[in-house]
Structure 1
């Protein structure tokens, strides 16, 4: 506190009078009253200044800006599931191609994605009839929905029934004089795998077995199928051979031909009294074709196509082949295992749960709130594809419960999913006492 000069003099005089041992001279009462008044006024001024200073501080402390809450964030860690297990047959040779999933499986998947066994040419048995149909339609094309020219089978064709019956091959009735459109004749050789129809139609198309063999060689060469040899149209000869890689290409050509694809997807041939397909898996696990074949124990084959729904925009198209299986049941089990493994390998990976903490807000005055995920989410992944997260946040406006302050984006392969980041709890203002007693933590004066 600072005293004015006049006040100092007056207090000094009073002090001298009070402490002096000399006789005190009488002081005029009026003078004494004036001096006392001046002292009181000076003291009041000092007190007023002090009180004004205190009032100013209180006003400032109660309205000064508060420090921003301290923020701590933590971006969620990468997530992944275990690797997919696709069981491949242990006997023979297998190849699998998948179209429609390059973004998940890689571009190589639409070529040859999976293989097992060796790649040398093996006897293909009745899969030959798919090659024969492709060669015949190359020379005598049919539009989709067109039945084609009418074939009339003579006595020589009828005798083929007995020929293949003696051989123990698959046959279908063909009385002399039987007539049918080319489409039906092709169905007879593919669906019930009638060998007598395969030879009869090949002879009709190329004049003889040798004529068919030459046409088959030319067709294979034109398509770059150098690992395939076809000497006759039925598959009874073990000289009809191919590799898993060539058969994948042949299967795709057959599936792309609307005539062959529709025939191979037919469970029966109505014009032959409802003779059933040899493909016992047709319609199972999405299998749409194409052709079985066997030459006995250890020589069971299956060239197949399938559509597999895995939860993306369109189903996957699978082309596969197994050659040299020990039995029909082992081949079928292997195919179902492959398709099941592909389907199971696409999974929804949980990446976020509603309420997961990703950060905190804390204040010097003890109020706090959490930064949390606003909703649960999952993302479609293939196998052990890793899902990674990026998080962006903004400064809250109100620090209030439920306020959206950002988002987390999860990415895995071609897919992304976003979830909001929200405040859980609210930042409450400090008490007046805290403001008054923590001036160093308030905003500038």
Structure 2
């Protein structure tokens, strides 16, 4: 009997500690299945007349285009190229007026030429002194053809030298379907495609001096006086630029608009070439902007506390793996979204402890949301360990 008692005591003395410290089984996890979905496609409302295209800053190419896409007359949209090329040669810092330009008889001659060609102009007198910034504003806001010529020659020494630089600029920026033959767009030989002009608009908006100028509805210059922007849509429907173009048989507009979609600012760039007149063109542009904005979706991916997995232990512990935070993404048109959740094996844990993640693939980009426990999950208690020595 003594031997049996000793054996029992030994078994208890050894077995109880072993039962307590022996590994316990992991909680069983039920994980949400992989999910796929797609957002609704966009329907952009471009005008039925002329040639048009629209895109956004930060996305390459265009979102939509309509009408003939061969190069068409740019008219005064040409001045956007001129100002970019001038600023490439003579850059300005934000808020800087730049060098002073003394106007002379040559500049008076440019005015006479523009008036003879029935182009838009602003007054000039020999001896006037004007800052580079003021000359840019006079060129862009009321579309003064003579000031475009003055700036180009001031920066490059001659029109041919300017045109060499402008053509190099177009080539360097991939604007292969754009041709310039003068500084201001008076010639019908200044031509471009809607797609090129959307790209040109993006480049212009990336230049702080030009971006600030094209959103100005009015300005007051010391010599010239009050200036009024030829773009009558400024301030309408978020439209904040860029440049009108007018010629004998038609009207053009390169436009930009800034709108909020969810937590994102969307910068739209579009162009309409070959409208009958500016009122006809202007009446259609807000609908283009609205339709682009409508094509975006503020897509909620995860909500705080959203359940992606449930844990259940053999000793009665229950917990859920939930999204730690809200995550959303602004997506364009028909975006494909794939969701896949994964969780770690656990035997217990504290509320808020990270236990996995849910990964979203949104049109090629990846968004990861942490998963945490929504409550304490009790580790295997001593009584369960003792009653399940073999696990």
Q: Same fold (TM over 0.5)?
A: yes
Q: Deviations over 1:361-414 (max 9, x none)?
A: 2659xx57353526563332524241423322333337x9x5857233333424
Match of 2:32 in 1: 75
* Separation (CA, whole Å) in 2 of partners of 1:242 and 1:355: 51
Match of 1:382 in 2: 331
Pick aligned residue for 1:328 from 263, 269, 281 = 281
Match of 2:358 in 1: 409
Q: Does 1:420 align with 2:338?
A: no
Task: Give the deviation of 1:88 after TM superposition.
Answer: 4.7
Equivalenced residues, count: 360
Change (3 A) 1:296 1:87: farther
Task: Give the deviation of 1:126 after TM superposition.
Answer: 1.1
Q: Which moved more, 1:118-127 or 1:387-396?
A: 387-396
Q: Deviations over 1:57-89 (max 9, x none)?
A: 9xx99x988985872412353254513525151
Match of 1:289 in 2: 241
Long gaps (5+) in structure 2: none
* Separation (CA, whole Å) in 2 of partners of 1:226 and 1:372: 54
Task: Give the deviation of 1:306 after TM superposition.
Answer: 5.3
Change (3 A) 1:69 1:266: closer
Q: Does 1:94 align with 2:47?
A: no
Q: Does 1:373 align with 2:322?
A: yes
* Greater relative contact order, per chain length (Cα 8 Å cut-off, separation 6+): 2
Change (3 A) 1:277 1:360: same
* Separation (CA, whole Å) in 1 of partners of 2:352 and 2:125: 83
* Separation (CA, whole Å) in 1 of partners of 2:154 and 2:143: 18
SS across alignment from 1:216 = helix
SS across alignment from 1:266 = coil
Q: Is the Cα contact below 8 Å between 1:94 and 1:244 reproduced in 2?
A: yes
Match of 1:20 in 2: none
* Separation (CA, whole Å) in 1 of partners of 2:259 and 2:339: 27
Change (3 A) 1:370 1:420: closer
Match of 2:343 in 1: 392
Change (3 A) 1:278 1:160: same
Task: Give the deviation of 1:349 after TM superposition.
Answer: 1.6
Q: Is the Cα contact below 8 Å between 2:55 and 2:64 reproduced in 1?
A: no
Match of 2:63 in 1: 114
* Separation (CA, whole Å) in 2 of partners of 1:132 and 1:375: 52
SS across alignment from 1:280 = coil
CA root-mean-square deviation:
4.6
Task: Give the deviation of 1:340 after TM superposition.
Answer: 2.0
Q: Does 1:151 align with 2:103?
A: yes
Question: Which structure has the larger Rg over C-alpha atoms?
Answer: 1
Q: Is the Cα contact below 8 Å between 2:321 and 2:371 reproduced in 1?
A: no
Where in structure 2 are the equivalents of 1:13-412 lying within 5 Å?
A: 71-78=28-35, 80=37, 82-85=39-42, 87-91=44-48, 92-100=50-58, 109-110=59-60, 112-117=61-66, 118-136=68-86, 141-144=90-93, 145=96, 146-152=98-104, 156-157=109-110, 159=112, 162-163=115-116, 167=118, 169-174=119-124, 178-199=128-149, 212=159, 215-216=162-163, 219-221=166-168, 223-224=170-171, 225-271=175-221, 272-282=224-234, 287-295=239-247, 299-305=250-256, 319-325=269-275, 327-337=280-290, 340-341=293-294, 344-345=296-297, 347-352=298-303, 354=305, 356=307, 358-361=309-312, 363=314, 369-373=318-322, 377-383=326-332, 384-397=335-348, 402=351, 404=353, 406-412=355-361
Task: Give the deviation of 1:193 after TM superposition.
Answer: 0.9
* Separation (CA, whole Å) in 1 of partners of 2:99 and 2:291: 35
Long gaps (5+) in structure 1: 1-44, 101-108, 433-440
Q: Is the Cα contact below 8 Å between 1:158 and 1:174 reproduced in 2?
A: yes
Where in structure 2 are the equivalents of 1:423-438 lying within 5 Å?
A: 423=375
* Separation (CA, whole Å) in 1 of partners of 2:327 and 2:87: 48
* Separation (CA, whole Å) in 1 of partners of 2:380 and 2:77: 77
The answer to which structure has the higher helix fraction is: 1
Change (3 A) 1:143 1:360: closer
TM-score by length of 1: 0.63
Q: Is the Cα contact below 8 Å between 2:47 and 2:284 reproduced in 1?
A: no
Change (3 A) 1:375 1:134: closer
Task: Give the deviation of 1:280 after TM superposition.
Answer: 3.3
Q: Is the Cα contact below 8 Å between 2:251 and 2:275 reproduced in 1?
A: yes
